[in-house]
Amino acid sequence: KNEVEQSPQNLTAQEGEFITINCSYSVGISALHWLQQHPGGGIVSLFMLSSGKKKHGRLIATINIQEKHSSLHITASHPRDSAVYICAVRWQLGSQGNLIFGKGTKLSVKP
Amino acid sequence: NAGVMQNPRHLVRRRGQEARLRCSPMKGHSHVYWYRQLPEEGLKFMVYLQKENIIDESGMPKERFSAEFPKEGPSILRIQQVVRGDSAAYFCASSPLNRGWKDTEAFFGQGTRLTVV
């Protein structure tokens, strides 16, 4: 069983829709990352969270440490948001950079 | 300020050859991390290095794989005697000297796509 589970695996939305991607994990963590990966491209870090909520433009990330759950929200989605969104956790006993990754959520936003 | 630079972007090797993947961290960064993304699978941690030191290699395969980060020059991930199963995207990330990932976000390179034929 993967220690980091993302849902949904695939998501298709219409432009303008509000999108939520979920991440659940089973280990104690010191931080959680949300990453974005475009097809054939590199990886961009969106957020790093250890508690609470962060916002950057149309993106919002929240984390509930007690429930071992995080969500990534995209407001007013746009076709350029189409990408794979990856949740990754740094577990408490691991060295920095020793992340456990989810398998990703593939988002497609239709115009 | 250039980001994390990886080269080559694409690398084709025949079975049994050696593959060398390079990673130049962001300016001012002295921690480097390597990850592998197999086709249709998630990313997996391989190794964490500081200048001239391997800090955590718990994700490295026991044989054929090695990594270094010399005092001068880029970090190198070396795969000897490549096999088809080594075909994957290899990503490098970096972080600053005094601020590890406890309070900084991650900075990733564009990756090297290795194809073994």
Antiparallel, parallel or unpaired: β A105-110 and B107-108: unpaired
pLDDT at B100 over 60: no
With b for 16 or more beta-carbon neighbours within 10 A and e for fewer, the A11-25 pattern comes to bebeeeeebebebbb
Q: Quote the pLDDT of residue A29.
A: 87
Per residue in A65-94, pLDDT tens? 999 999 999 999 999 999 999 999 988 777
Q: How far is B67 from chain A (nearest CA, A)?
A: 15
Contact A104/A84 with Cβ under 8 angstroms? yes
Per residue in A55-65, pLDDT tens? 999 999 999 99
The single-letter DSSP state of residue B25 is: P
Q: Quote the pLDDT of residue A55.
A: 95
pLDDT at A40 over 80: no
Instruction: State the Cα–Cα distance between residues A77 and A14, nearest whole angstrom.
Output: 8
Q: What is the average per-residue pLDDT within A4-15?
A: 96
Please answer yes or no on whether B107 and A101 come within 8 Å at the CB atom.
Answer: no
Per residue in B11-65, pLDDT tens? 999 999 999 999 999 988 888 999 999 988 889 999 999 999 999 999 999 999 9
The single-letter DSSP state of residue A111 is: -
Please answer yes or no on whether B100 and A31 come within 8 Å at the CB atom.
Answer: no
How many residue pairs from chains A and B have C-beta atoms closer than 8 A?
Answer: 68
Residue in B42, B104, B110 closest to A104 by CB: B42
**Nearest-Cα residue of chain B relative to residue A41:** B110
Provide, rounded to the nearest whole percent, the portion of chain B with pLDDT above 90. 76
pLDDT at A99 over 80: yes
The answer to whether the Cα torsion of A92, A50, A80, B7 is positive or negative is negative
Which pair of structure tokens corresponds to residue B9?
């972007």
Contact A12/A110 with Cβ under 8 angstroms? yes
Least confident of A33-37, A64-68, B40-44, B101-105: B101-105
Residue in B44, B56, B109 closest to A42 by CB: B109
